[in-house]
Amino acid sequence: MIKQAVAYLRKSMDLQETSLEQQKKDILVFAAANDINVIRFFEEAACGENVEGRPQFRNMVEFCRTSRESFQYVLVLDISRWGRFTDPTETFYWIHEVKRYGKEVIFINEGFKEDNIGTSLMKLIKSSEASEYLKKIRQNTIRGMKYHANRGFWMGGMAPYGYERMIVETGLILKNGEHKNIKDQKIKLIINKKEAKLIKFIYILYGEKGLANNSVVNYLNEKSIPSASGGRWNKSSVWSVLHNQAYIGNTVYNIRNYHRRNGDAKFNPKKDWIVTANTHEPIISKELWDKVQARTHQAFLGGWFLTKKDKPESPYLLSSIMYCTVCRSNWHGRRYHLKDKIRRIYICSGYHSYGSESCISWQIDADSLENKIISWITNKLDNKEWSGIFQRV
């Protein structure tokens, strides 16, 4: 009797591994040799460290749980395709999860094996090896980054605004979106003189002229000076320029985690950043850099941004659901640290991001507004007609 199965295929995005096409061929050969009909394939290119960044893996587990189709197996090339989990025991968790729904996970490179303690022990060993392999790959990647950065080479990605990428061997300048053709070619950052003038100007406005971040944004937009993306400047883009160590000749890696382990790129703790000094020609002097960093640090201490212990417990109930009637931007919460209390306000995000070119500086006291709305809702709930509507909902 022919049995039914689904198959799970995975390829890491940054490693040289068996292609999805080859995995599918190998699984179909195994299925044909064992009288198994594969009814569905779940395939993806994703990091195997956990399941959050692997939607097809989650879909496969959900299919095992809810599908009305009759099938007995989940076919996978080998245990490393199932996942290279940081905790090897998580491999067994997901195998057991599938087993709870009456399906058996078969790693086709091992074939059908009797379910006993010896088989389980062997799977644990192989899962541990897969986890260690991933850790070793990352260690080698970081080591390679440090080695090439110490030699002054750029390791990938777009050049920071103010710089261009040049192929060392040919002297060819790469435009945005272009890549080197030969793997062993090296890339260095060189200064784009036109863009570098603007970077210096921003640092002088903030660090020497004493303009606030918002004032710098207003000035740049009033002069119709395009940002690095070609659009308008906002507080975030200016802030990024003022904190980019590339402008003092440093190369910093591992700021964000792009490994898709949780489905999103996230900032790593500063202690995990890999900083290599003097990798390329600086645009900003160390003296001006230090002056700017001291001033931005003071901005944090001045009450606009508070420490965790000072943060008010009440959330901003109306953020992103209240809109400005002038520029149609949403309102969001801010707080001021006064001498004897914390003042909570709502401010127009159009003004906050783009300054007076976008909107006027609307501010509303958060406590007063929220209390009025809560009072209005409470009065409505006391009304029998409204109370009946809410109960039916």
DSSP 9-37: EEE-TTS----HHHHHHHHHHHHHHTTEE
pLDDT at residue 389, rounded to an integer? 58
pLDDT at residue 9, rounded to an integer? 95
pLDDT at residue 36, rounded to an integer? 94
End position of a domain, from candidates 261, 283, 302: 302
Same-domain status, 9 and 129: yes
End position of a domain, from candidates 135, 162, 183: 135
User: In this structure, what CATH number is given to the domain that contains residue 78?
Assistant: 3.40.50.1390
Same-domain status, 220 and 252: yes
Domain membership of residue 152 (yes or no) is: no
Same-domain status, 284 and 326: no
Does residue 28 have a pLDDT over 60?
A: yes
Q: Are 268 and 257 in contact (CB under 8 A)?
A: yes
Same-domain status, 104 and 21: yes
pLDDT band at 302 (very low <50, low <70, confident <90, very high): very low
Q: Is 246 exposed, middle or buried (0-12, 13-18, 19+ CB in 10 A)?
A: buried
Same-domain status, 25 and 100: yes
Domain around 320: 308-367
Same-domain status, 203 and 100: no
Domain membership of residue 185 (yes or no) is: no
Rg (CA), the chain: 28
Number of domains in the chain: 3
Same-domain status, 114 and 7: yes
Q: 0.85 exceeded by the pTM?
A: no
Average of per-residue pLDDT across 259-281: 71
Domain membership of residue 284 (yes or no) is: yes
Q: Choose the most confident range, by mean pLDDT, from 209-218, 316-325, 370-379.
A: 209-218
Q: Which run of H or of E encompasses 126? A: helix 117-150
End position of a domain, from candidates 302, 324, 339: 302
Domain membership of residue 141 (yes or no) is: no
Dist CA 387 CA 28 (whole Å): 61
pLDDT at residue 162, rounded to an integer? 93
Q: Are 174 and 164 in contact (CB under 8 A)?
A: yes
Residue 74 CB coordination number (10 Å): 25
Q: Are 71 and 36 in contact (CB under 8 A)?
A: no
Give which of 112, 107, 142, 144 is closest to 127, Cα–Cα: 107
Same-domain status, 32 and 123: yes
Q: Are 185 and 174 in contact (CB under 8 A)?
A: no
Q: Are 83 and 94 in contact (CB under 8 A)?
A: yes
Domain membership of residue 168 (yes or no) is: no
Does residue 354 have a pLDDT over 90?
A: no
Picking from 176-185, 204-213, 248-257, 310-319, which range would have the lowest pLDDT averaged per residue?
310-319
- Which comes out higher in pLDDT, residue 42 or 124? 42
Q: Which run of H or of E encompasses 346? A: strand 342-348
Q: Are 90 and 50 in contact (CB under 8 A)?
A: yes
Q: Are 57 and 19 in contact (CB under 8 A)?
A: no
Same-domain status, 293 and 315: no
User: pLDDT by residue (tens digit) across 219-241?
Assistant: 899 889 998 888 899 988 999 99
pLDDT at residue 76, rounded to an integer? 94
Residue 241, token pair as written in the block: 């320029």
Same-domain status, 84 and 7: yes
Same-domain status, 253 and 330: no
Average of per-residue pLDDT across 318-333: 81
Q: Which run of H or of E encompasses 66? A: helix 55-66
Domain membership of residue 58 (yes or no) is: yes
Domain membership of residue 169 (yes or no) is: no
User: In this structure, what CATH number is given to the domain that contains residue 262?
Assistant: 3.90.1750.20
pLDDT at residue 304, rounded to an integer? 39
Domain membership of residue 244 (yes or no) is: yes
Q: Which run of H or of E encompasses 93? A: helix 89-100
The stretches of 182-332 forming alpha helices (DSSP H) are 193-207, 213-222, 235-242, 286-299
Same-domain status, 12 and 79: yes
Q: Choose the most confident range, by mean pLDDT, from 121-135, 169-183, 376-390.
A: 169-183
User: pLDDT by residue (tens digit) across 42-90?
Assistant: 999 887 777 888 899 999 999 999 998 999 999 999 888 888 877 777 8
